[in-house]
Structure 1
Amino acid sequence: MKEAPFRFSIRTMLVVIFLFSSILAAYTRGDYLLGRGVGVVYAIVASMLAVLFYRAFSDNRTNKLQLGALTVTTVIVTVFFAFPGHWNWNVQISIDDHAEERAAETELARLFATDPAFGRLDATARHQKGLWVRIKGVVPTHADYDRLRQQVQEECELGTYREIDWCIAIREKQNTSTEGGDD
């Protein structure tokens, strides 16, 4: 018996849009919670579940028990992925550390945007028995470097930072030097 050719329909388009948006939502949630790598894992799992649902709906032989089991499995996986810290406290600690890293990087990026002399600076933050922050880049003069250190001490919540690593190059007209050191 010959199969009917694939026909485009509004229903098919809506299903495809729903599946792709659920995969995108899974990636976004994973990336927000624990970083890009976890976002990719979330998207892969969402893709596999989407393929299973597509196959279950497109196959006329799928019975309601199989479809119900697939739905229950999908709901369990979705709840587990949406709230991983509820099931494992260590994951919640990692989520909190990741959020603190993002907050520190955002705070420093906002500070760098306030002054054109800080335009070539970048900050990264990592948790290793506390929050370690590295500020790297180039400032035009030694006075700009001193002003940067002063503004970081005044405007940022340094109590949350365990250590700041200053990897700043100073580009003065005649003299090029590198300042380093820890606070």
Structure 2
Amino acid sequence: MKLIVAGVALLLIAAAPAPTPTYDWKLTPTGWGPVRIGMNRDQVQKALNDRLEGDAFDNEGSCIELFPQGEALKGSYFMFLDGKLSRISVSSPSKIVTPRGIGVGASADEVHKAYGEALKAEPNHYVDLPAEYLTFWLKPEKSGVRFETDAQRKVEIIHAGDSSIQYIEGCA
């Protein structure tokens, strides 16, 4: 009898849905909470406890940006190259921030203060100065975080991941 009760209890525990993440993780060059650069789509969906949907940028499907379907992650999206997560992006104000406290809406001055001399500044390709790309490389040209600022010098998008954080239009 005790074995049956224990077996039923284990089945109920195993069948229970995974707890919904709080998503209060820090966005880093290597990932966001349990979501790690290099994971495949299924692994990312499981880590987020959310379904990802989107379209390929090319006919071969080697580059795709996917968007979470739940409201909690609205404004975030995930780039996959050859089936592996290469970049995590955030484009609307949320509680998603870097370990240095920078999120969408921060000023360029706050980014410079947080990242100092290690920050590389480049002009924005679509918006005239003072808009710019501010990039911090953990590993030069391999792993970093890029902050895109607008004409008011406010962060409007953050990309974290591998060298794909430099891509301006999809996978180019």
Common fold by TM > 0.5: no
TM-score (norm 1): 0.25
User: Could you say which structure has the larger radius of gyration?
Assistant: 1
Between 1 and 2, higher relative CO (CA 8 Å, sep ≥ 6) is seen in: 2
TM-score (norm 2): 0.27
